[in-house]
């Protein structure tokens, strides 16, 4: 299937919106990605690419920490960067700058307009990522920055990571700070607030249980409102898919050796919708998901 045939197969109204957005960036819909670490954008790389490169959206990216704790599996990158990155003192000293460059390179793949690096120290963790400390973060500064950014840019959607009890504590903290900032907007100005969790196609469909004592972590359903299938095929002889884009993003984060083993691993990008999106959030989320369909079977309905 050629690119032209693929576009012609889209509904006429969707195609018109796409061409209009591509021709006028001032009117483009806006996405904000809020993540704790460089490389967290992996969780929704295919969906972001679809929005920016094919539907004309504008996307910005906030990275809360400097990523300095990612030195343990950097052995392969030591020769590339000429630094003993797996030595903790060297890794923590040099990785922030290296990982910024890697994030900027990944952002070129994904069509990111602006990156905002908030440079909170990445304390890392000993044995349990879910218990990683954020005590060293300047939470008021992060919250204030997000609040000001949301007021200024008026985003249509925010992508964060699903804040489960098992996930990295930094991911939970970044997500809750983003939702809190958005919840402070008047309801009619709030973006859609999505939490993502990528998984294999055969992964169990266990529902999400909101964090105890965190009302902002509540979602409209225990199940995702939509899933984007990275394996959706298109292009000449249907030989291409969005997993290729995801693999490009992974490859840019060369200092993160263990992360490279995620190439080709997760097929689905699943998205939950936070209740804080507002009373019309679910209806807006359904319209949002409809834009993303590169093929009818690309989206899985919420259970």
177-224 pLDDT, tens digit per residue, is 999 999 999 999 999 999 999 998 877 667 898 888 999 999 999 999
| Percent of the chain surpassing pLDDT 90 | 75
Distances (CA, A) of 179 to 16, 45, 148, 266: 32, 20, 14, 25
Contact 112, 44 (CB under 8 A): no
Range of weakest confidence among 86-95, 110-119, 133-142, 274-283 = 133-142
- Sorted by where each begins, the domain ranges of the chain are 3-301
Q: What's the CATH number for 3-301? A: 3.40.50.10320
Q: Cα–Cα distance between 262 and 149 in angstroms, integer? A: 32
Place of tokens 């992974």: 250
150 φ/ψ sector (left φ>0, alpha ψ -120 to 50, else beta)? alpha
């Amino acid at each position: 299937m050629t690119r032209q045939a693929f576009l012609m197969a889209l509904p006429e109204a969707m195609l018109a919106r796409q061409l209009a957005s591509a021709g006028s960036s001032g009117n483009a819909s806006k996405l904000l990605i809020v993540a704790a670490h460089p490389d967290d954008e992996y969780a929704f790389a295919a969906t972001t690419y679809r929005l920016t490169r094919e539907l004309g959206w504008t996307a910005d990216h906030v990275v809360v920490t400097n990523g300095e704790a990612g030195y343990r599996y950097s052995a392969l990158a030591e020769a590339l960067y000429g630094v003993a990155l797996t030595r903790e003192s060297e890794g923590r000293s040099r990785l922030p700058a290296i990982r910024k460059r890697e994030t900027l390179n990944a952002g070129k793949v994904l069509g990111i307009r602006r990156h905002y690096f908030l440079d909170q120290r990445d304390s890392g963790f000993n044995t349990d990522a879910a218990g990683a400390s954020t005590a060293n973060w300047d939470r008021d500064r992060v919250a204030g920055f997000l609040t000001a950014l949301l007021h200024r840019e008026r985003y249509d959607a925010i992508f964060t990571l699903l804040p489960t009890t098992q996930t990295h504590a930094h991911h939970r903290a970044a997500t809750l700070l983003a939702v809190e900032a958005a919840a402070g907007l008047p309801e009619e100005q709030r973006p859609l607030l999505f939490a993502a969790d990528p998984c294999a196609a055969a992964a169990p469909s266990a529902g999400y249980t909101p964090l105890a004592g965190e009302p902002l972590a509540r979602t409209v359903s225990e199940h995702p409102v939509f899933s984007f299938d990275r394996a959706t095929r298109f292009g000449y002889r249907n030989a291409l898919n969005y997993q290729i884009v995801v693999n490009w993003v992974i490859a840019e984060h060369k200092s993160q050796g263990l992360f490279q083993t995620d190439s080709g691993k997760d097929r689905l990008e699943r998205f939950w919708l936070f209740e804080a999106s507002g009373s019309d959030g679910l209806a807006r989320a359904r319209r949002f998901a409809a834009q993303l369909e590169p093929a009818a079977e690309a989206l899985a309905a919420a259970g």
